Chain A
Amino acid sequence: MLDRHEAHDDRNLGQDLPQRDAAPVADRAVADREVPLPGTAAAEDGPALVIHQWLDGETGEAEARRADAKQVDLWKMISAETDQRRRMTTPAYVAANIMAAIPEVRTESKMATATTTPTSAMVEPKSAPGTAVLMAMCAGIFAIGIVIGKML
C-alpha cells in the first residue's frame, strides 16, 4: 500500500510541495497556520527542533545526539517498538470472516449506479434467472410430466 501511495506523489511534481520540502526549514513557505514561524517559541526550541528533524529524516543522528542524547536514546527505544508494530499482519481468519459475511449476489444502491464517473460504467450483476436456468426448469417439469403419465 505504501508503494502505491508513493507512486501518487508524482502528481505533485512541478507544484509547490516538493520544492517546499527541499528548502531549509527556516526558508520554507508557510503552508498552514499550524506551522511554527521563525521567531516563535516552538521554532526557538533548538534541541527539540533538531530531534524532530532527525525523526523526520531531515538530519543525522550525530547532530541529534549533540542536541539531546537522552531524547535520541528514548526515541530509538520507541522506534524499535514501532518498527515491530509495522511488521504486524492481519490474522488470517479476518479475511475469511469478511468473505463469509458478504452476500453471494451483490446489491447496490440506485444512487451508486446513476453517476457518470468511471465506476458508473460498471455493470450491475443480473439478479434475474438466466435462459439456461429457465430451460432446465422446463426440462424438469417435462420429465416429471412423463413420469406421472407412465404411472397413470
Chain B
Amino acid sequence: MTEEEPTPADVDSDQDVISRILTGERDAFAMLIGRYSDPLYRHALGMTGSPDVAEDILQTSFIKAYHHLGEVRGRFDAWLFRIVANGCKDWLKNIRRTHLSYDEDDQPSTFASPDEDLDRTELRQDLDSALAQLAPSLREAFIMKHVEGRSYEEMADLLGTTVGALKMRVHRAREALQTLLEEKYD
C-alpha cells in the first residue's frame, strides 16, 4: 500500500506558519518560500522579461514580507502577490525612465541582457518583444491569464478589480499581440 497523501488539515495553513515565525521559528519561513516562489517567479519573469531581474524582485519581496509579517491582513498569498506585483511595476517605471519608450524601441528583446545565455526559440523572442510593447496593466493581465493560468475570478481577487475589467484587459492584450505577431506567423 502506498503512503497516503497529506490532507489539507495535515498541512499548516499560512497563518499557522506565520504564527510560528513570529514566535521565533525563523526557519519556518522557508515553507512559505516553497509554497509561493514558483508562481511569483513566473509572474516577475513575465513582467520583466529578465530572469536576473525576476530573481532580484522575488528575493527583495520575500525579505520585505518577512520584516512585515505582523502586518498581514487577510490572505498571505494575496498580500505577497501585491508586494511582487508592485516590485515589477516599480522596476518597469524605472526602466522606462532610462530606456527608449516601448513604442519607439524595435529591438528584438527589450530586457534581454547580453549575459543571458538562454536557448530561446524565435517565437519566444518575438513573444517577449511583443509583451514588452504592451502597457504594464495589459501585460500583467495577459501573464496572469495565459502564463500563470489563473481564472478571471482569481485575478480579480488578487488585483482588486472586476472580472469584466480584467476580461477587457486580456482581450486588448491578445489583440495587440495578434497585431504584432500575425504578420510574421500568418
Contacts and interface: CB of A to CB of B under 8 A. Distances in A.
Interface of A: 1-2, 4-6, 8-9, 12, 17, 20-21, 30-32, 34-36, 42, 48, 51-52, 55-56, 70-71, 74-75, 77-79, 81-82, 85-86, 88-91, 94-95, 97-99, 101-102, 104-109, 111-113, 117-120, 122-126
Contact of A9 (B38, B58, B151, B182): B151
Contacts, number: 182
Given A31-B164, A32-B168, A55-B174, A85 B42 contact: yes
B95 interface: no
Interface in B10-69: 15, 18-19, 21-24, 26-27, 29-30, 33-39, 41-42, 45-46, 51, 55, 58-59, 62-63, 66-69
B113 interface: no
Interface extent on B, as a size class?
35 or more
Contacts of B181: 74, 78
Interface in B153-176: 153-154, 157-158, 161-165, 167-171, 174-175
A39 to B, nearest CB: 16
Nearest to A88: B42
Nearest to B8: A7
